[in-house]
Amino acid sequence: MKTLAVSCWALGLWVLTGGLAADAQEVDMAQLGPSTGVSHGTMTLLGSRLYVASVGSVRAYVRASGALDLTVGGGDGILGNSGGERTYVDAEFVTTDGTSLFVTDDSDNLVYVVDPVTGALLAAVGTDGIIGNDTGGANPEPTFTNAKDVAVSGGVLYVADAGGANAIRRYQLAGAGGLAVTLATGVSAYFLELGPAASAAPCNSASTFAGGQLLYTSDLNDDIRCVDTAGTSALLLDASSLAMRDLAFGPPVGSNCGTLLTFNGGAVLYSSEANGVNELRCTGRNGATFLSNDADVGPAYGIARASDNTLYQAGAGTDQNLYSSVAPLPVELLGVTVQ
């Protein structure tokens, strides 16, 4: 699942704008399988599959080869495309709790709970498998104004609602049918990631989620924020004009990222950027940031790390390729639990 994955999609070739020490580690990324022929949103890992939100559907790829997994979705590898599956107008975000997929359709402004093999809605979650449906019926009425990314941990789902009040919504998944608790307002959240609590500023005094986690967000204002259980938001990084995309945690790689003040477990926060110049930022708990450049791949959208430390990236915009690291990430610090 996306939780505590590393977003080092751009760790290939590390052509640095500010220079990199000679002893820094490098990880090369290579295209995974043929071009998908579709644009990409976020991605998540579940078992041997890589699930990618793509053009109104969720596509399942074999992690080892990048081929569509034809054991999924009625034999075409596509969820939301055939049979009795729910058809998504604009699936852009997907995550997993290790059992189900959570898919945001940001045109319908609903989150669907989906069987990862059949694509069927899972009525065991809520009354109809649809989160944000305030009627619980066959014709759902969305209670989000602009649903975006989702994160899940410990039976709790977090949804970024980027419209209206710019809120983060929190659901207990047991019996989650209608709109639940508003965690934070005035936060222009777009992408979400659950990560380790900061051991020092800026979130050192915040109440943490189960497991000592805090919720981190990036938005189209190019800010990264941390949010606590009370909904208090603290600005971690103001990175203007960067077209921030997906977020994830992982151990620092390379001497420059390694000098940043780390979060619990020795982790730094990585953010992908889709601004056309193939940038990566790794950010420390003090808000310091380091910029690098990736010559192997185009601008990125979704990012994920597997438990064996293989990295995955979904290209953004006209880059319709998937990528994986040529070799597993040579990790210096393994204090971050990968779920």
**C-alpha distances in Å from residue 6, one per residue of 73, 110, 152, 262:** 28, 27, 16, 14
The pLDDT of 96-107, averaged and rounded, is: 90
Cα(58)–Cα(73) distance, rounded to whole angstroms?
9
pTM of the predicted model, to two decimals? 0.82
The sign one gets for the Cα dihedral 218, 220, 222, 225 is negative
Strands (E), 28-165: 29-31, 43-46, 49-54, 57-62, 78-79, 91-96, 101-105, 110-114, 130-131, 147-153, 156-161
CB 244 within 8 Å of CB 285: no
Model pLDDT, residue 35? 93
The pLDDT of 8-14, averaged and rounded, is: 28
Tens digits of residue pLDDT in 12-62: 222 222 333 333 344 567 889 999 999 888 999 999 999 999 878 999 999
pLDDT at 220 over 70: no
Whether residue 202 has a cis bond before it, omega within 30° of 0: yes
Model pLDDT, residue 123? 75
Instruction: Give the alpha-carbon dihedral of 34, 36, 41, 44, to 10 degrees.
Output: -50
Least confident window among 18-22, 114-118, 232-236, 267-271: 18-22
The pLDDT of 153-180, averaged and rounded, is: 77
Q: Which residue would you say has higher pLDDT here, 70 or 179?
A: 70
Domains (ranges, CATH) in the chain?
8-325 (2.120.10.30)
CB 193 within 8 Å of CB 249: yes
Average pLDDT, the chain: 74
